Chain A
Amino acid sequence: MKPQLAVLAWNLALAVAAGAVLLVLRSDHADSKAATIALAVPIGLAFAASGLLAATRRPENRTGLLLVLTGFTWFLGALAEANGSVPFTLGLALGSVTLGFLVHLLLAFPSGRLGGRLDRTIAGVAYAVAVLGPALTLLFDDLERSRCDGCPENALLIEANQGATQALEGTVVGGALLLIAAIVVQLIRRWRAASPPLRRSLAPVLATGTAALTLVAAANIVGVLSDAGEPLYWLLQGVLFTVPISFALGLLRSHLARAGVGRLVVELGHSAGPHDLRGAFSRALGDPSLEVAYRVNENGWVGTGGRPLERPSKGSDRVATFVERDGRCVAALIHDASLADERELVAAVSAAGALALEGARSLQELRASEARNRALLDAIPDLMFRIARDGTYLDAEADEEEDLTAPADQIVGSNVFDRLPRDIGERLMRSIHRALSDGETKTIEYELELRGEPRSFEGRVVASGEDEVLVIVRNITERKRKEDELRRLYVELERGLGELQASRARIVEAADLERRRLERNLHDGAQQRLVSISLALRLARGKLLSEPPEAETLLRGAGEELGFALEELRELARGIHPAILTDRGLAPALESLASRSPVPVDVQGPSDRLPPWIETAAYYVVSEALTNAAKYAEASEVSVRVARANGDALVEVRDNGVGGASPDRGSGLRGLADRVSALGGRLRVESEPGAGTFIRAEIPLATVEPAAG
């Protein structure tokens, strides 16, 4: 409300009050005129004045307007002192409207607006009871009972009926009592739900309002039961006077609390830290739940203890007021939503505390950063030492105390050379001095025997001050072990690869050799024989007519020669691949081998067919072994056994010869070893000199068939 309008309204209130005084003074029926004027006029003016003050200071708040209306309707009651019948009757009928406004005020405080449906219902019923109650009663009340001397006539009277009057009065009083009970219950609920700052505003209002309503109820009960309601009525008048004042006090509390700002400034001068600061703001705004939130980065807010804080969401009972300094948001006061009505106070408190809050924010920022660093360091699973230039441990941290040479508290204060072997200590000190002189991170690896087992460590030395370094040490025992294992596997792999290459070369060489042997055999054997036959036939043809007996001799010789050639070819073909092996399997093939061997052979072949590539390998193992037994071992008997065993094909050849055979000497056994190894198997040769030879090949049956070619 604009001040000019307020002055106008105030003058109007004064005029209405003057009118009321005039009505009382000129009344024919008013009792105790002085007392009535002395009590009633100040009450009405108090409502108007409080209302105008509140409406001026808090124009957005409806409480002021309601107070002003209450003040004006209060003076309607003065019409009952008029001498004219109509104004008199109006005064009687409307004299209680003030009570409706009072209920409305109480329920709507502090915003001046009725919050819920229940509040609106109660206020509506209150207005109805306050206006309709007296109006209906007046329809039947001839005012005889009130023994009013000189009162004008009741203009609303239809028919004097004492019974109806009393019944209506009883109903109105009963209704009013129920209404008051409902209001009290509602106010108690409001109180219990209120936050401390809101309670401070509510306290005077609820106290005086409830007192007034209780007195209204009491006066009505007493008035109905007896005629002794008069003193209560006067008491009610007294209490009513305090009601508008308490409303104005409650509403304008923040203005009055400005003194708190001054106290805040003084307190901040002595404040020692963020906790004191929070207390000071809390006291200044009267909100014990107040939190100070500091902005530490783009999105983050932390509380006094450095713990993260969430900004209150919209519609919650908490509100954040941002405190700015030099256009920069330094902090936020998170306080009770009821303080939002005291914006000026909060703004004043914020302004007074901005500087202190900025300082505290810097401190919080520092602490948050410290906390981050600490969390980071705690999260690193490594050992950490702070070591001075002279090698003294300043600090020791370990996730695994097992990796320390002694408990951390014993390490601190001791020297590098007390804890580490001399050579490692010297290397570490060199790293420390180099890190301190050039500022670059140095790495050192060393091994320590801790609790009876060797452990490997890697230390990173970084300068952390002019005369101290931070050494972050990682246990790399496991890594080293894996590295060693990897290295070992690599060596093994290389050796295996070398063996494989050698074996492949040998296989190629053996195949080459075999082809050359075949060519040689063909050339020296069958081919020569066929050449001779060819020459003999040509010679015989020349002599067929001239010297028939010679021709016949030549032909006979050619026929014999042809027989030898065929036998040689057959033998050769068998050497390339024995047909019997393919056609009838390993066991008959071994029998055939044995039958051709000059040394007696005992054969125990496999009971069933094996994969073809395994049968071939087994055949050549036996064939080579039998050749060796006959050719070199001077054996007199050989035993051959081929069987399945544990997923392998087992080939064993044992002779009773001179022994001394080895795959390292001669290409035959080496070729066999290569052939077996190419199938994932292995060949073992036991051949001590004089103790015979035992050859054993194990070839996995699950081996995949080698690729052709």
Chain B
Amino acid sequence: MENRIAERSASCHHAEVTTVLIVDDHPSFRASARALLQAEGFEVVGEAEDGESALVAARELDPELVLLDVQLPDIDGFEVASRLKGSGSTANVVLTSSREGCDFGARIADSGARGFVTKAELSGAALVALLP
């Protein structure tokens, strides 16, 4: 398992990325995502179910990747992403939603997020591909 990540990391120059914070208001998705990402070698350091707790968790856990649902009960994913960037966080934010990325247009790029992946297509490879 570690070998595979090392290989992918080597190919993508991101060998050190391992910590992930999952932010989504649906527990079933958080559970599935956690299982999937852990299975693919990521370390899920925490979960949050709304925008405010996501900001707190990101500050406390300092993950390298934040998988951030667009639609949250309090503030939306775009707002969370730009606040994270504004607060000096170095975490790479990847927005996700069950909708298509094109539904959101330029808002994804404007929010300062690294990129977007639909929930159905979520995979470790898809995330790594979006990172610098």
Residues in A lying within 8 Å of B, measured CB to CB: 523-524, 527-532, 534-536, 538-539, 542-543, 554, 561
Compute how far the CA of A45 lies from the CA of B117 in the bound complex, rounded to whole angstroms.
155
Residue of B nearest to A536 (CB): B32
Say whether A532 contacts B39, CB under 8 Å: no
Instruction: State which of A523, A524, A539 has its C-beta within 8 Å of the C-beta of B32.
Output: A539
Instruction: Please give the distance in Å from A519's CB to the nearest CB on chain B.
Output: 10
Q: A528-B29, A528-B98 are in contact. Are A535 and B39 (CB under 8 A)?
A: no
B28 close to A538 (CB less than 8 A): no
Bound together, the chains give a CA A538 to CA B125 distance in angstroms of 13
For residue A537, give the distance in angstroms from its CB to the closest CB of chain B. 10
Residues of A within 8 A of B119 (CB): 531, 534-535
Q: B71: shortest Cβ distance to chain A, in Å?
A: 7
Known A523-B98, A528-B29; further 8 A-B contacts with Cβ < 8 A: A527-B98, A528-B98, A531-B32, A535-B33, A535-B119, A538-B36, A539-B32, A539-B39
Please give the residue numbers on chain B whose beta carbons come within 8 Å of chain A beta carbons, in ascending order.
26, 28-29, 31-33, 35-36, 39, 71, 98, 119-120, 122-123
Residue of A524, A531, A554 with most chain B CB atoms under a 10 A cut-off: A531
On whether the beta carbons of A532 and B98 are closer than 8 Å, the reply is: no
**Residue among B28, B36, B123 making CB contact with A561, cutoff 8 Å:** B28
Give the residue name and chain of the B residue nearest to A543 (CB). B39
B39 near A531: Cβ-Cβ < 8 Å: no
Counted as pairs of residues, one from A and one from B, with CB atoms less than 8 Å apart, the total is 42
Chain A at the B interface: mostly helix, strand, loop or mixed?
helix
User: CA of A529 to CA of B33 in the docked complex: distance in angstroms?
Assistant: 12
Name the residue on B nearest A531 (C-beta).
B119
| List of B residues within 8 angstroms of A530 by Cβ | 120
On whether A524 and B39 interact (CB within 8 A), knowing A531-B119, A538-B123, A539-B32, the answer reads no
**A554: nearest residue on chain B (CB-CB)?**
B35
Contacts of A523 in B (CB 8 A): 71, 98
Cross-chain contact of A528 among B26, B35, B39, B123 (Cβ < 8 A): B26
Q: Tell whether, in the assembled complex, residue B26 and residue A539 are in contact, meaning their CB atoms are under 8 Å apart.
A: no
**Residues on the B chain within 8 Å of A534, using CB:** 119-120
Q: In the complex, what distance in Å separates the CA atom of A536 from the CA atom of B120?
A: 10
B28 contacts which chain A residues (CB < 8 A)?
A: 528-529, 532, 561
What's the nearest-Cβ distance from chain B to residue A568, in Å? 12
Q: How far is the CA of A532 from the CA of B122 in the complex (A)?
A: 11
- Cβ–Cβ contact B71 & A535, under 8 A: no
Residue on A with the closest CB to B25? A524
A365 to chain B, nearest CB (A): 94
- With contact pairs A527-B98, A531-B119 given, residues A542 and B29 touching in the complex (Cβ less than 8 Å): no
Smallest CB-CB separation from A564: which chain B residue?
B28
Cα separation A530 to B32 with both chains bound (whole Å)? 11
Are B31 and A532 in contact (CB-based, < 8 A)? yes
User: Are A542 and B71 interface neighbours, CB within 8 A?
Assistant: no
